[in-house]
Amino acid sequence: MCIRKKGDVLQDVQKEINTAKKIKVRSRPLAASLILIGGVILLLFGMALAIAIGAKDIALPDVWNAVFHFDPNLTEHQIIRELRMPRVIGAAIVGAAFAVAGAIMQGMTRNPLADTGLLGLNAGAGFALAICFAFFPGMSFLGLMLYSFVGAGAGVGIVYGIGSRSKGGLTPIRLVLAGAAVSALFTALSEGVALYFKIGQDLAFWYAGGVAGTQWVQIQIVLPAVVIALLGAFALSRSITLLSLGDDIATGLGQRTGLIRLFGVLIVLVLAGTAVSIVGSVGFVGLIIPHLTRKLVGVDYRWIIPCSAVLGSLLIVFADLAARTINPPQETPIGALVALIGVPFFLYLAVKERRSL
């Protein structure tokens, strides 16, 4: 039986106190509270605006009546209930899922470049969906979602496997390079399957990214999974905060880092897999939003995770609104709009990370 010395116990206690002080000093709970309250209000307004604006503009009072006093005999109410509401709710779910998944990945790996689209997860899910379109046409949405989970897990597993075997360990730059290589491989395989089995149109819609065509049955399947995953992410938030400060600190404070990472990866797969199955290949949401959130609220993931969910929902809801209004009646792919912001942001972070090495 190992008996710890009094000095070691006091040292661990002092380490925990210093860590708590560091987190408290670098956290901004007031800013986080304002973001949550203001963000939710703005999100509700944005969702109402997105429901009202479209090929047929509908007044906001009619949107209110369609939601709370539905009349199946009115065409406007049917458009709102059956077409626009599931689309807008799907956009909010997707934004929250991608943003929180990116925040968890960045916190666990201490990698500012971590994102589901950059680490092979989206491309792996896309390859799995290409296999489904080719060999199992007519598969249910639940089946497609499960396959996207498998593909996403394969993608991120290969990326981490390649990166960890490199000399010098799993550095942020190596992780991104491995992700780029695996993403290119899965994308090429998906395109090959699409050409051979003539499913290019189905796959092209997925690569473009968009929530058009989202139905209530998809929301009913996806929403419980995303809510459970978000609650799980919040439950892990304190542990992820400690991991983001370093494995030594987390281990010294009694955290089981391996188990935390396992649960974190499972949560990321659920969030990203469900989001990809709805919207398709949309990258950079999980890269941009967590960085912006950390700048605003500090390093405490008990604030970063909920604020990222709100800001991610805002981004995709307004991106979808812009996609429908920039060039009507044609829709601009959401992935292209987000990439206009995400690519310069990624290049800035890559240059910054290189200078810090």
Per-residue model confidence (pLDDT) at position 96: 97
276 belongs to a structural domain = yes
234 belongs to a structural domain = yes
Reported pTM = 0.86
Q: How many domains does the chain have?
A: 1
Distance CA 8, CA 137 (A): 62
At 107, which CATH number?
Answer: 1.10.3470.10
Range of the domain at 314: 85-356
101 contacts 116 by C-beta, under 8 angstroms: yes
21 belongs to a structural domain = no
332 belongs to a structural domain = yes
12 belongs to a structural domain = no
Q: For residue 179, give Cα distances in angstroms to 37, 115, 162, 222, 345.
A: 36, 10, 9, 26, 17
CA atoms within 13 A of residue 140's CA, in its CB half-sphere:
6
Digitized pLDDT (tens) for each residue of the chain, 357 residues in all: 444 454 554 455 455 555 555 555 467 888 899 999 999 999 999 999 999 988 778 888 888 888 888 888 888 889 899 989 999 999 999 999 999 999 998 998 888 778 887 778 888 988 998 899 899 888 888 888 888 888 988 888 888 787 667 666 566 667 778 888 898 899 899 989 988 888 877 777 777 778 887 889 989 999 999 999 999 999 999 999 888 887 777 777 778 878 888 898 889 988 988 888 888 878 889 989 999 999 899 889 999 999 999 999 999 999 999 988 888 777 888 888 888 888 888 777 767 765 555
Per-residue model confidence (pLDDT) at position 262: 84
245 belongs to a structural domain = yes
Distance CA 42, CA 289 (A): 16
Per-residue model confidence (pLDDT) at position 6: 47
177 belongs to a structural domain = yes
Per-residue model confidence (pLDDT) at position 1: 43
297 Ramachandran zone, left/alpha/beta (phi>0; psi -120 to 50): alpha
Q: For residue 329, give Cα distances in angstroms to 54, 190, 323.
A: 9, 29, 10
147 belongs to a structural domain = yes
